[in-house]
Structure 1
């Protein structure tokens, strides 16, 4: 075992304990904070924070006593500008130094597609969002790039160039355009690393969604058994994330690939660069970010990518896939702490990490914009890993994890939810399975993932070299089956760290993904578990892409026609569309605002019209909350009762009203309740089903008046089953 002895030096000063002043709220608004923390056990989070505070105070006293006895340096400025500081003492007596990670840089690619004017033009820049940044010190909050959007957490901490650089990569406004941060309209909290676990625990309990940590244990000052080990600090961070399931930690992988600091890696030789992750980077639930050298084509897609020559490689000793993702791009020009208008160019995983953190924050903002809520951390992490650009060999690797983050593709999956993608937060109870049948989309790649925030591992390593004992607590499994064939998820083998990924039974990762190339037809996806589940259940998120959730196609309606008008009604019909709702708008030619109705058939009766007025009509197809067609061309007619005709409404095509539906839902859209009307038998039963296939209400359908006030806004399927079979329709809940 190669033991690195710290350079002896007399301790000349003692760093003060920091006092945390007040309780900070990290929710984006009071209502959003309540939504984030509603499921949290506040007493449990308070207990975790209190326990870590006591452990921290005890550990600090022991650390300072040992530092004095052994002449350890408390802190040190390195020749390359980096900063190290004694953070704690390991179980074997090793002094653990945290260090900043600023050797190279990689910026997030395609995050700007979410901005106004970007490829997706979503208007998502981070407005109103908050992110935490812990680092060697605090950022220069008076820098011109920050305005009043960066606030200090540790009021007696020193300003650090590294903290300013990282915060700038996240939230710089772009006073100098090339220094603009990824989430350049977001707010940030800046704090130093000495009480990071304690402060993050309290912040997470108050609604913090994401924090960035571009530092880690210095690899040159620990014995080899630390590398890849699940240790106490790994367990502590997993415990925070498990008990605050909307909070996600993002960390930099480090820059030690060529330093040869691990002489006995779990695979290969020290010159190979594997097995260099340690400390909180071996936690199960966070995202560890590598740096990549990338080439982009003119359309903004990855042309080529390789791991940066400095970026620390995995694996974790139990075989888990780490790093998780890679940031890509050229050197980052960012804010510097030497002055309020100072800048610097820098490179490293320290910059790759905030690039990913900022992109994740934008995805949370976009999800809230679409659906009125934030994603759980397992959903956000799973979405990022599911949609990453797979480079080189298929599947993940121990260099860049699941690949280069693709913020654009992740945002598109959110948009396509319930249309060509499914993203659903579920709970698996002990002894049960979750199953869903889906149709693949036209010989495309079909991908299915499960992601979960796992409980902290019970076992922590205290000195065993390359211990392969799995840290996973609840082992979920995903399988895809079709015609007797079973598809398995990707997995890696730490003992063969340079080999390509294979498929099989993954027993170590809290994220599993299956890819089916050229998928066609119907597949069954099943989620199960091994052994017992802690607390007899496990929350998880399932993500599917490349599927046809609905038969609807967002085509603009055509062939609008008037059918047998009367003195009081003008019936309109148009081309039908499977599984669609139609938004119909009409007004007189002198009015400025449209009257709007929604129907799930390809017809509507316009009523309340006045003789002699000219009316305009347009309509569009709606497939899901976010997928709809353009409006049709506006057509017009003069209402003359039964003699109503129109010159520009097509009348040479005939489309009958769908007469298979023997019932109707009223009102549609609905707010408080819906009524079922029609030829419904006494024994018929109704089911209200989400677009993800989950039944949320059921009962007798005859003359039913159903309370829907407790349902979330969105599109639902209502089906009625009787002796004659099953019939269904859709309705909107406003």
Structure 2
């Protein structure tokens, strides 16, 4: 339920906001500047720009010598030369991910309520990279809201349509209204995109926080080997380098439309078709769904196959993942069939197109709205990790079974649910925080759960760039800083694990075993727990890490919703009580008469100690005083033989230990 304070706040903003807010300069906030590696990224942009210029000039020479085109249209898709592959010697083309073919996608993404509550993206700048630009003077972008940032660009239909979906404004054709319609679009050509994205994300005035990339490798004309699909290559690594060093910047890519082209015949059902930046860890890749506005009844197998005359909710063309190391890709889905937006043929032209190109800008628009809203109510922007955590946490369920998959990703983007989580965080009924874990430490957070709503826990982080893999289909882990999320019912000691994909290429899109939630996820930098059959009681979230953290620390974002009531306040730091309780030892085990508790007990003073049988029944309740003591004993001679849980609690810190009574 929306927070009343937030509604009032938005109403006041709507009354006082200037009509030209989007044109005002927005300096980069100090906290963003301090978190952004400006020095590294400045040099990175220079290197990538020089690399692109040298490579592109050579590619033009090769194209002319081979009588190959520089740019053009093929079956309704715009393509252009962007360089050559130094390993294969083949020319490299980018192509738009649209299919030439009635409504906007606002309803499918559940975004109309945001507009009704004054969340329109005012003051935000959003980047759109494409094969050219749209019409800056189109009526949907009146008032100087479309700024061409490249000098060497021409107008194309695709670029206009994409930008219109992201941020097209109110004009005579209201059916083409974009998501973030009070935002200003910065339009770029895709050629030197990495360097330009780096500069835009690090700009000291008017930085962008979200950008759209509805294009990808033109595989048919590239000469690239099939091994490029799912592979973590140099372009994947570049995307992760940029994202990890500019942690407030989120890149959104379309998944591509090649599922019917049999480009990877060794894989079943169109799996393993993502390439280049689309296999990076820190970018968001978007799949395309059908154009229905009423998706409430689309569940189960109807999401991926035709059942009883109902078409599949996933589009017929949208590329499937996963990556070679079985990460959850694509990340999210949005409407990409029958999307109406503006065109470039006149200042009032419109067009209806299909494609993952049309799905990605819906997600970009939602992210831009979320960033603007978060800045309004919390007076700061979110890290990209928070945006991705919110995306996964709130996604509408799609696919053949609960959980993520390699068709839809985490599900269908839900704009309103994301705002609801932010409102709940403001009211204190959900937890939505950005924390940091340092080498050798962990974080624990205890709270009660009333079982009135589903409990959901999500973490996400921007992971450092991984090592490039050149061979095909090698299941080599690309996660560098491997954080672990656990949810524990401290009353019963039951542990819940996050979702992860089944690591097998033979799993079909209709399988109910695409994802599991009973093992450790060692692949993804988004971990989401939806505990099955969770009962009311006391719970604890545990965040730890494996091995050595690169840089000695890792920022991450945490969301907890559905617990019921006000969530306990936390700053993400490990308390003294938690540290002590995590390092206690109990012995002997099995025990006959006296169970000894040993550790730095003096640091926690008095504590509540309880013993439960495995059915959850409390059999002993003690208040012990540990002052000036390193060990104490509990008489358990009266207990029947069997297994028990010893629970020690101090303030919000709680730890449980299993022991056997002889």
- TM-score, normalised to structure 1, is 0.68
Post-superposition offset of 1:273: 0.8
Q: Quick one: distance in 1 between partners of 2:336 and 2:357? A: 13
- Tell which deviates more after alignment, 41-50 or 392-401: 41-50
The count of residues paired between Structure 1 and Structure 2 equals: 530
- Of residues 147, 152, 155, the one that matches 1:156 is 152
1:420 paired with 2:432, answer no
Cα separation, 2, equivalents of 1:287 and 1:419 = 28
Pairing of 1:104-115 with structure 2 (within 5 A): 107-108=105-106, 109-115=108-114
SS at match of 2:290: strand
- Matched residue of 2:542: which SS? strand
Task: Work out whether 1:474 is the aligned partner of 2:490.
Answer: no
**CA spacing shift, 1:501–1:28, aligned 2, 3 Å:** farther
Counterparts of 1:216 and 1:316, CA distance in 2 = 16
**Separation in structure 1 between the aligned mates of residue 28 and residue 57 of structure 2, nearest angstrom:** 39
- Post-superposition offset of 1:31: 4.9
Matched residue, 1:704? none
Q: 1:326·1:404 contact (CA, 8 Å) conserved in 2?
A: yes
Partner of 2:580: none
What is aligned with 1:691? 569
Work out which of the residue numbers 438, 442, 446 in structure 1 matches 2:451.
442
Q: Decide whether the 8 Å contact of 2:443 with 2:574 is kept in 1.
A: no
Residue 332 (structure 2) aligns with: 325
Once the two structures are superposed, the pairs formed by residues 12-91 of structure 1 within 5 Å of their partners are 29-31=25-27, 33-91=29-87
- State which drifts further: 145-154 or 51-60: 51-60
Pick the aligned partner of 1:347 from 329, 350, 354. 354
SS at match of 1:307: coil
1:418-437 residue CA offsets vs partner (Å, 9 max, x unmatched): 63311111111111111111
Contact 2:84 2:92 in 1 (8 A): yes
Structure 2 counterpart of 1:11: none
**Larger helix proportion of the pair:** 2
Q: Equivalences for 1:171-250 in 2 at 5 Å?
A: 171-175=167-171, 176-206=173-203, 207-221=207-221, 222-250=224-252
What is the alpha-carbon distance in structure 1 between the residues aligned to residue 405 and residue 24 of structure 2? 35
How far, CA to CA, are the matches of 1:329 and 1:51 in structure 2?
Answer: 35
Q: Secondary structure at the match of 1:115?
A: helix
Q: CA deviation at 1:115?
A: 3.5
Query: Any idea what SS the aligned residue of 2:139 has?
Result: coil
The structural deviation recorded for 1:344 is 1.0
- The one-character-per-residue Cα deviations of 1:503-559 (angstroms, maximum 9, x if unpaired) are 2111111111110144321111111111111101111111111113628xxxxxxxx
| 1:279 paired to 2:289 | no
User: 2:659 maps to which residue?
Assistant: none
Moved more, 246-255 or 472-481: 472-481
Distance 2:24 2:523 in 1: 34
Tell me which residue corresponds to 1:461: 469
Structure 2 SS opposite 1:131 = strand
Counterpart Cα distance in 2 of 1:152 and 1:47: 24
Moved more, 486-495 or 69-78: 69-78
1:396 aligned residue (376, 393, 404): 404
**Contact between 1:423 and 1:543, CA under 8 Å: does it hold in 2?**
yes
1:512 aligns with 2:522: no
Secondary structure of residue in 2 paired with 1:531: coil
1:616-673 Cα offsets, whole Å, 9 max, x none, are: xxxxxxxxxxxxxxxxxxxxxxxxxxxxxxxxxxxxxxxxxxxxxxxxxxxxxxxxxx
- Residues 305-704 of structure 1 mapped to structure 2, 5 A cutoff: 305=303, 306-328=313-335, 331-391=338-398, 392-417=400-425, 419-457=428-466, 459-462=467-470, 464-482=471-489, 483-492=492-501, 493-498=503-508, 499=511, 500-503=514-517, 504-519=519-534, 520-548=536-564, 550=566, 691-694=569-572
- The equivalent residue for 1:135 is 130
1:90: Cα distance to partner? Answer: 4.8
Tell me the distance in 1 between the aligned counterparts of 2:168 and 2:410: 28
Determine the C-alpha separation between the residues in 2 that align with 1:471 and 1:65. Answer: 36
Does the aligned pair in 2 maintain the 1:302–1:389 contact within 8 Å? no
Structure-2 residue corresponding to 1:261: 263
Measure the CA separation in 1 of the matches of 2:571 and 2:565.
Answer: 9
Change (3 A) 1:524 1:283: same
Assess if the C-alpha contact under 8 Å between 1:75 and 1:86 holds in 2.
Answer: no
Change (3 A) 1:488 1:481: same
8 Å CA contact retained: 1:111, 1:359: no
Give the Cα separation in 2 of the matches to 1:102 and 1:28: 33
Shift of 1:95: 2.5
Q: Find the residue that maps to 1:145 and give its secondary structure.
A: helix
Q: 1: distance between equivalents of 2:575 and 2:64?
A: 66
Once residues 421 and 274 of structure 2 are traced to their aligned partners in structure 1, the CA distance between those partners, rounded to angstroms, is 31
User: Of the two, which has the highest radius of gyration?
Assistant: 1
Tell me, what secondary structure is at the counterpart of 2:256? coil
Q: Which of 238, 251, 254 lines up with 2:253 in the alignment?
A: 251
What whole-Å deviation, never above 9, does each CA across 1:675-725 have from its counterpart, x for those lacking one?
Answer: xxxxxxxxxxxxxxx833557999xxxxxxxxxxxxxxxxxxxxxx99999
Partner-residue secondary structure (3-state), 1:275: coil
Unpaired runs of 5+ in structure 1? 1-25, 552-689, 699-720, 729-734
